[in-house]
A and B are shown apart, each in its own frame.
Chain A
Amino acid sequence: MTARISDEARAPIPGRRRWAGSLWFALLLASAALTACGEPCETGAVCARTCPPGGAPICAAHGLCACLLAPDAAPTAAEGPEAGPGSIDPGSDAGPTGAGGEEAPAACATPGPGDLLINELMLDGEPTEDAEFVELVNPGPGPVALAGVELTSNRGADQVRRVEFTGGCLPADAALAVFSERGAWVTPGGNPWPVTAELRSFGFANGGDFDFRLVRGEAVIDRVEGSGDVIEPGVSLNRQPDRVGPAMASHRDVDPGGRTASPGRCPGGGRYEEGCPDPPPGGGGGDGGLDMGPGDAGVGEVDPAWGDGGDGGRGSEPDAAVDAGPVFECPLPAPGELRINEVLIDGRVPRTEADEFVEIVNRADGARRMLGLTLAVEGDDGWDPRVVIADGCLPGPGALAVHPDPLDWRFEPPPLDPPVIADARLALGNESRAPIALLDEQGDVLDRFDPGGLSIVEGVSLNRSPDLTGDDWRLHDRLAPGDSSPGTCAGGEPFTVDGCPVEPVEDCAPPTLASLVINEVLVDGAEEGDRDEFVELVNVGPAPLALDGLGLWSSRGDGTLVERVAFERGCLPPGAWAIYGDRADWVGGEAATVSRAERLALPNEAPVVVELRREAEVWRAELPAGFADEGISAVRAVDGDPLAPFVPHDAVSEWPASPGARVDGAPFGEPAP
């Protein structure tokens, strides 16, 4: 299904309609992965970010730092340099950088007249000059080197340099759309030879005669001229016939479908590399799937963008026809395509709620429409909507991290069609543990997250395990370094159609009654006070045990149990830890995170109960009052055997106690002697 953002669907609120986007932005998104720049940076500027091989960090809108990558897979050695196909040099005027600045291979021919064509011009971009572009096409059978090629056009009677190419090639039967924003340059089929260039003046007159030239030294590779009478706002000029004709005509006349522009693509929207097929209906294109057509409304019909289009308005500004802008494929999601993948329920002080988020991932290979998409929390009367998205498109593959404040919402990559928010009241209760659901426009559940029984750690999100595909939920730092990764895979990579990289997961299994043992307890310390009282925990299994949510409880003199230690995170490796009242005295356990660590205060004159609790599991040790003498611990008669009774330590060893070790001082975690 091809969902043009038009009047196909009902508008849940006023102010929703067809999308009309700037081309440069749309194309930028073809393969961008973004993160926030530390400081505001100018769009198109080089910014600070570590990008994967072949990526170039360029500041996009909102101060986001994009890693521009090629849409296709990594190149083979035969295809080109290791930089990665289609990556665009960030455009530092200093010249080629990194992989993007590789010399063009010898296979790329130096172009002569006719080897490169100026095929399409957008001279009066709408809504801004950012939409203006020049499309270059290589009509030949082999790649053409761009180094030394200059694009010039007239300013009055003079020719002004617009672009100076410094490196890279244009593949055979491929097109390059050159925008004023370097990050928006695009070759839809990818380019194994990254193009580098220096941008000069890139603002074209909207009227008057035009004269564009591609030159290399003294040689004119191509030239197109024409009268400004044919320039229309928001409509490009294209060779008529495409790539062949000597004259430039309105794109609408070149494309039987009446589209207004097709930067980097055939007039009908297909790729030159593929012989200009018509774009498949409904399928999301991996590179953004641009469809530049006028949409269902037809050319000239009112396009109210988000608006409802015409309830009168002010008398001084009557309704008027506004040209339709580009539309793109954005069907409603199919079952399973949208998932809740990550949730931060308990934000960290001081931002607390502001940091909380729900990550919605679009697993499809193409954008999916967010019409009526709702995040709801289960309440007494059913699903209570908290966030309602009236419209917009979620990039695919891609993600949206929904925060309470829309200012904090984060798309990866940025959306071609940003959302219209009808309601934004995300508030995730730490205590209620209410399920969260993602609902479609009809109120049907697309996906849900149930935090019941899961450990909730302040500042640490819960993430699907395995990332994106799993049905289990784990604390984020169990999957990858870091407390959360809103908008990306747990490891920070962008979501792809193949999911997320398999991260090396700390294999930290939930403890069982058989694998975790309360092995030794010192109730009455030799020292004055209770400082040397301890409880020894032993992992008798072969794998580390998860400690999140584990609590150590002990009885007071009146028999009531009090939680003394609350583990938040960490794994207990095979072996033993001795837990003291003072964290500094612990034997082992340095890496564990605890939210509480109080003195144990075990009663000397009353029976002692020590329990470990985790969710429904309870490990329990009971000792009668005065079970062992002062300074003598109680220890399992068989070290590490959860079924063995407790005996005074001096009954099985010459030592009074052995915190963190076997009764004979040998370490746990090794085969018993």
Chain B
Amino acid sequence: MSRIGTSLLTAVALLAATPALAGEGRAWASGTFNPAKTETAENRTFTEFAEQGTLEVEYAFDGGPGGEIGVEYRLRSGLGLQLAASFGTRDGAASYTAAFPHPLYLNRDRAASGETSGLSLTETAIHFDLVYGKRGPKWEIVGFAGASFFNVEADILDRPQYTHAYPYDTVSVLAPVTLSRSGSKVGFNAGLAVDYRLSKSFGLGVQGRFSGATVELEATDEGTVELDAGGFAVGAGLRLYF
């Protein structure tokens, strides 16, 4: 089972076990939106025709929707612990510049460039935080910070395939091909949540969470793509108190 699968199962188990603990707590489910654009670039090298070629790619993933669920267990004096799981998706595009070695001559690369869209990025994360809250009869404000475990699955560009014919001075690049790659990394998060109680057990809330980690995705050639996971996500949703 993958690391993210194991982590999610652990989160589920913790969530399920939480009500068995003594004391108060709350759980939530929110829809979120991460407005920040994620941009990254990579430089890859590869060997072709006994010479080194290069591929430079710039990726841009737009902000996108997501969701989060979590549970908080209150300890004392406003302090508590919380565990949350979040996910988010983004659509993206990439532009590339490649230098393909010439098959017949040294140091006479054939240049190619292009763009492709329709890339996707999916990010899941488990957040484990220390919480400090101020609670009133109706309103509740909670600040939190802690560690995050990210798993990112994203489309990255494979080395463009091309056709060429004698005298091989130019290449005709075929449709860019994408590869789905995933990677994980531990990072951090911090944020603020404000709840409004509708009843003893239910309420509504908004939250903002800033999280971050740099995840490395392995490319097919000698190179990696470094993606900034997380960002600032805002959300709103239901609250359940116990």
Q: Are A and B physically bound partners?
A: no
Residues of chain A at the chain B interface (Cβ within 8 Å) = none
